Amino acid sequence: MSTKTDWITAELDGLRQQGLYNSIRTIASPQGAWLQVDGQRVLNFCSNNYLGLANHPHLRAAAAAAVEQYGVGPAAVRSIAGTLDLHGQLERRLAAFKGVEAALTFQSGFNANLATIPALVGREDVIFSDRLNHASIIDGCRLSGAKIVAYDHNSSAHLQQVITAERAAGFRRALIVTDGVFSMDGDIAPLPEILAVAQREDLLLMVDDAHGEGVLGRGGRGIVDHFGLHGQVDIEVGTLSKAFGVVGGVVAGRPVIVEWLRQRARPFLFSSAMPAPDAAACLAALDLLEASTELVDRLWDNARYFKAEMQRLGFDTGVSATPITPVMLGEAPLAQEFSRRLFARGVFAMAIGFPTVPRGKARIRVMISAAHARADLDQGLAACAAVGRELGVIH
């Protein structure tokens, strides 16, 4: 008997003992306020489907029409034979939506980060990265080979301090990178202050707006619009997999950067394009977002209501300023038990623990959506209250 995978078995056992083993549930229905999960109909408090677009009739129709017109697969990387007219249209429309001159789409937001960061900095360079940045930013930074200097979360003062220290040591180029909205806590990066540092130091600034698109700014135009910083942030990375309801990534910003990515970004050059139905569905999402702010407004109404009611019940919802609603519980086993009991009451809300959040900061993360009716939120609140009392989290 071979023993070369025994260490994996031991690690997996360790995860189970610490309450960190991730049990993945299976969904057998479209995304929406309610899901069929492991054979049970449950209220959906987990997904990033902020605007309810993942199963929206307009997007479904656009994707179905694109299947008829283009088929299902791109059949090539974009630089060889995979760039469709739909990709070009989507990029022009995304750039206009974001108020920038150029945009480039990728297969996912994760890929957009892996593509962009190593194309901009390398071995002789430095990246100044918020300590709580998303895993895909961290991996993009590692892949670049640049020196990574983490600055304290959302602290422009500490950012300035570490830049000054690195200047003394010397570097060729540098990039400042931050999440726009931090996905586990729901707080918003102080972009104007970070931009002021970037401008003072004349460094490239990149923001990952994955949880800001479709959520922040006028009609969901994102964090740059939220702060009115058009034309000043060099690179906006984003995802089409959250509020847009489809799957894909986007880089928007200066035309020269987008042109460079088309020449040098490795996931663009060596991985096949986003499929036509996805691109068509994203275009349909833009139609909806440009036509009306109704969905974004409903998302915020729902989020404000839910968060205020949770706080009134006595829950700690952390520092969120967005529809992301963490319910802070502390230890991972408590968060897992909370999630299991919610599920038994017909509410699907996942426990999140280390390494996604720091040890001792385990939580349930409730994701509010425009797809929720007020009655759905009330039902979810009642379940949270009951489980919270059972487990002694609230009184």
Ligand X SMILES: *Cc1c(COP(=O)(O)O)cnc(C)c1O
To ligand X, the closest distance from the beta carbon of 96 in angstroms equals 21
Name 129's Cβ contacts closer than 8 Å, sequence gap at least 6.
137, 138, 141, 148, 149, 150, 151, 176, 177, 178
Q: DSSP character for 315?
A: -
338 touches 393 (CB < 8 A):
yes
Provide the sign of the torsion angle of the four alpha carbons 381, 387, 393, 395, taken in this order.
positive
Q: Which two tokens stand for residue 391?
A: 């487990």
Tell me whether residue 364 or residue 384 sits nearer to ligand X (CB atom): 364
d(C-alpha 25, C-alpha 204), whole Å: 41
Tell me whether residue 109 or residue 388 sits nearer to ligand X (CB atom): 109
The catalytic residue among 47, 183, 320, 369 is 183
Please indicate whether residue 183 is annotated as part of the active site: yes
To ligand X, the closest distance from the beta carbon of 8 in angstroms equals 26
Tell me whether residue 156 or residue 241 sits nearer to ligand X (CB atom): 241
The catalytic residue among 56, 98, 134, 211 is 211
d(C-alpha 32, C-alpha 47), whole Å: 9
- By three-state DSSP, how is residue 211 classified? coil
Tell me whether residue 102 or residue 189 sits nearer to ligand X (CB atom): 189
Q: Which residue is nearest to ligand X (CB)?
A: 109
Kindly list the distances between the CA atom of residue 30 and the CA atoms of 27, 52, 277, 372, in Å, as whole numbers in the listed order. 8, 11, 17, 14
Kindly list the distances between the CA atom of residue 114 and the CA atoms of 24, 27, 119, 139, in Å, as whole numbers in the listed order. 26, 29, 9, 7
Closest C-alpha to 310, from 385, 365, 203, 252: 385
To ligand X, the closest distance from the beta carbon of 27 in angstroms equals 16
Tell me whether residue 184 or residue 334 sits nearer to ligand X (CB atom): 184
d(C-alpha 299, C-alpha 217), whole Å: 13
To ligand X, the closest distance from the beta carbon of 48 in angstroms equals 7
Give contact residues for ligand X (rule: CB under 6 A): 108-110, 113, 134, 136, 179, 183, 208, 210-211, 239, 241, 249
Please indicate whether residue 211 is annotated as part of the active site: yes
To ligand X, the closest distance from the beta carbon of 189 in angstroms equals 11
Strand 40-44 relative to strand 34-37: parallel, antiparallel, unpaired? antiparallel
To ligand X, the closest distance from the beta carbon of 208 in angstroms equals 4
Tell me whether residue 140 or residue 380 sits nearer to ligand X (CB atom): 140
255 touches 106 (CB < 8 A):
no
Q: Which two tokens stand for residue 118?
A: 């190593």
Tell me whether residue 234 or residue 376 sits nearer to ligand X (CB atom): 234
57 touches 287 (CB < 8 A):
no
Catalytic residue ranges: 183, 211, 242
